[in-house]
Amino acid sequence: MEQAQRLLASVFGFDDFRPGQADIVQSVIDGKNTLAIMPTGGGKSLCYQLPALMGDGVTLVVSPLIALMRDQVRALKEAGVCAGALTSANTEDENDAVLSSLNAGELRLLYMAPERLASMGTLSMLRRSNIARIAVDEAHCVSQWGHDFRPDYLRIGELRQALNVPVAAFTATADAETRAEIVQRLFDGIAPETFLRGFDRPNIHLAFAVKDSPRQQILRFADARKGQSGIVYCGTRAKTETLSAALAEAGHTACSYHGGMDPEARRHVEERFAIEDGLIVVATVAFGMGVDKPDVRWVAHADLPKSIEAYYQEIGRAGRDGAPAETLTLFGPDDIRLRRTQIDESLAPPERRSADHARLNALLGLAEATGCRRVALLAYFGEQAEPCGKCDLCDSPPDLFDGTEAVRKALSAILRTGEYFGAGHLIDILTGQRTDKVLGRNHDQLPTFGVGTEFNRRQWQAVFRQMMGHDLVRPDPERHGALRMTEPARPILRGEASITLRKDTLKSERARPALRTLVSDEDAPLLSALKARRRAFAEEAALPAYMIFNDRTLIEMAETRPANMDAMARIGGVGAKKLERYGAAFLEIITGEMTGDMHPKRRKLAARGAGEIYDRLLAVQADLARGTDGGDKPLSCSSSVLAKLAEIRPDNLNTITRMLGDRRAERFGEAFLEVLLEAS
């Protein structure tokens, strides 16, 4: 892994792998079939991009969206990696250029959509191209139950066999059924090396709120984060347009995005979002998988997502650079009703719809959590965690009460009506409403009629919502949404167990979100100046700003304030190529001084952490150029030799002698060795 570690630093600008990445990279390098389930923003791309730079051959990347391929290729080229994509959106000249690089043996990564695998001549072209491995991005697309099923993904297994190369598949979907389908389709049912990485995204602040003037709630949330890139997810196309207009009227740069727009308009929004700082996209879930912008600072849901998996993937669009990011999810009775209807009206079999109701219940459990949200979220994915201290419930613990009596009343009403009715009718019974439906079924004669007058209708809705969140009741797909008790409810009904509920969600509260900043007040002006310089470079190169440096890198610059190029090289995200292109300009912003020209070899050494060693060797050489007494004939080593010494750092005199030759080793060898040993 030594070579991989060097490439990680010199090409990608990172000192260390993220948790779990190193093992996955090693598996891919070793040529093993690999399946990695990693959280959105967990660094999946690097796990196949880095191995592609090692050894011979081309890594074929099968990716679902042209926009995603285009962004990754541009980012790789910016880092000095030869990569290309063959897509229908390319011009003929662009595709010819990619094929030319491929034929010349220069290309390291070739991106293609799965549909292109079906085109005539693709297989023969790939057979001639020394393909070393296939990497499958968004691998859940192979599953018949996957989020974005694409039939041509099924050809990848055939392609693997035809080319006789290993496959590395990556997805953020943790569902066991989907994983089994991936193994069957891509790996012929033979289990690959499988990595299930932790799903914690500690940089993302989680928050939920009951809807109360939801448009104003979203506007307040956006106002507190003005100038930061964000996404607002809506349940309907119409709402994306009205809410984006409201945001624009409030002074934000905002636009809408949904599946009903023509492809050119959607592409225009995607390009704007990639390039512009501070743009808010108000979208349906159609704006999802293609979002690869690392510096999205916040995601809001104006409507409840369809499941906890969907929620996790959608909030995962925020903070992919690892810097702080925030979320807000609004929910209310209408959302739940809509999501239940969508499940019930699907063509899936009853057992599938029941499972979908359980997934929605899990999301409601997160929304109505009584303790740390991160603990609840990770528990769903089978992970244990300590309270994070950073979600809204850790920031401000909820007001709780013993809800055992209220829940027992509700469960009794469900049981006494034969588990054939939904929450609306049950609330009428509990609050003593003599509706036609109640009277027509003689439910006013039940012992539970009118026993719940301590709560109004809205409060009872909140109680039922929390009962669903605890998975005590589920809608029955075969009884048109009638609530059925689950096994965990029975001990409560029998008085053998108690339950705690949240009191705060039983009433409407207006809480303005607190303004959060990326850095301290002291560092904020410098961060703004660095962002301005980044924007100038980005506009000049017609690149998204994050491809110059992402927010996390600029935050580290602002907080650590590197004083020279060696210190700048140690900033996360500053690789050799970017140090050479942009280092001096950003250093000038930080120090307020012009940075002198630096020899290219010296700049590369700075990126590899060997610059200061080179300087010390140079100083020693200057001292000994005429010998220890200053009377000998001048002698020196070339810059290349000194650079090689600084990079390799030999730890014995024999190796130094082989590199310098006897004459120079006699004069400089022992002094150089002393410098190198001190640096080790």
Contact 136, 156 (CB under 8 A): yes
* Nearest to 510, CA basis, from 196, 221, 77, 139: 221
The first and second tokens of residue 606, run together, are: 């700075």
pLDDT band for position 405 (cuts 50, 70, 90): very high
Q: Is residue 625 predicted with pLDDT exceeding 70?
A: yes
Q: Is residue 142 predicted with pLDDT exceeding 80?
A: no
- Apex CA 221: angle with CA 220 and CA 225, to 5°? 110
Q: Is residue 510 predicted with pLDDT exceeding 60?
A: no
What is the rounded average pLDDT of the residues 514-518? 61
Q: Is residue 514 predicted with pLDDT exceeding 60?
A: no
- Residue written as token pair 């709630």: 217
What is the rounded average pLDDT of the residues 418-447? 92
CA distance 430 to 318: 43
The first and second tokens of residue 667, run together, are: 């004069």
* Nearest to 371, CA basis, from 359, 351, 386: 386
Contact 150, 294 (CB under 8 A): no
Q: What is the pLDDT of residues 180-223, one digit of tens each?
A: 888 988 998 899 999 988 788 899 999 999 888 999 999 999 99
The second-level CATH assignment, the architecture, of 524-600 is Orthogonal Bundle (1.10)
CATH fold of 204-331+369-395 reads Rossmann fold (3.40.50)
Helix 423-430 × helix 457-469 angle, to 10°: 130
Which stretch, 132-141, 395-404, 555-564, has highest mean pLDDT?
A: 395-404
Contact 426, 468 (CB under 8 A): no
pLDDT band for position 154 (cuts 50, 70, 90): confident
Mean pLDDT, the chain, integer: 86
pLDDT band for position 600 (cuts 50, 70, 90): low
Q: What is the pLDDT of residues 256-275, one digit of tens each?
A: 998 888 888 888 898 889 88
The dotted CATH code for 2-196 is 3.40.50.300
What is the rounded average pLDDT of the residues 51-66? 90
Helix 524-541 × helix 584-591 angle, to 10°: 150
DSSP annotation of 53: T
Query: Is pTM, for the whole model, over 0.95?
Result: no
Coil, strand or helix at 38 = coil
pLDDT of residue 293: 83
pLDDT band for position 606 (cuts 50, 70, 90): low
Picking from 227-236, 241-250, 508-517, which range would have the lowest pLDDT averaged per residue? 508-517
The percentage of the chain sitting over the pLDDT mark of 90, rounded to a whole number, equals 41
Q: Is residue 146 predicted with pLDDT exceeding 50?
A: no
The percentage of the chain sitting over the pLDDT mark of 70, rounded to a whole number, equals 91
What is the rounded average pLDDT of the residues 432-456? 94
The dotted CATH code for 400-502 is 1.10.10.10
What is the rounded average pLDDT of the residues 553-575? 89
Q: Is residue 103 predicted with pLDDT exceeding 60?
A: yes
Q: Is residue 244 predicted with pLDDT exceeding 90?
A: yes
What is the rounded average pLDDT of the residues 138-149? 59
The first and second tokens of residue 529, run together, are: 């100046």
Contact 207, 329 (CB under 8 A): yes
List all residues 6 or more positions away from 79 whose beta carbon is below 8 Å from its beta carbon. Answer: 11, 12, 13, 575, 577, 578
Contact 317, 201 (CB under 8 A): no
What is the rounded average pLDDT of the residues 114-120? 78
The first and second tokens of residue 199, run together, are: 């799903």
The burial class, CB within 10 Å (0-12 / 13-18 / 19+), for 678 is: exposed
pLDDT of residue 149: 47
pLDDT band for position 340 (cuts 50, 70, 90): confident
Picking from 44-48, 405-409, 540-544, 639-643, which range would have the lowest pLDDT averaged per residue? 639-643
What is the rounded average pLDDT of the residues 441-457? 95
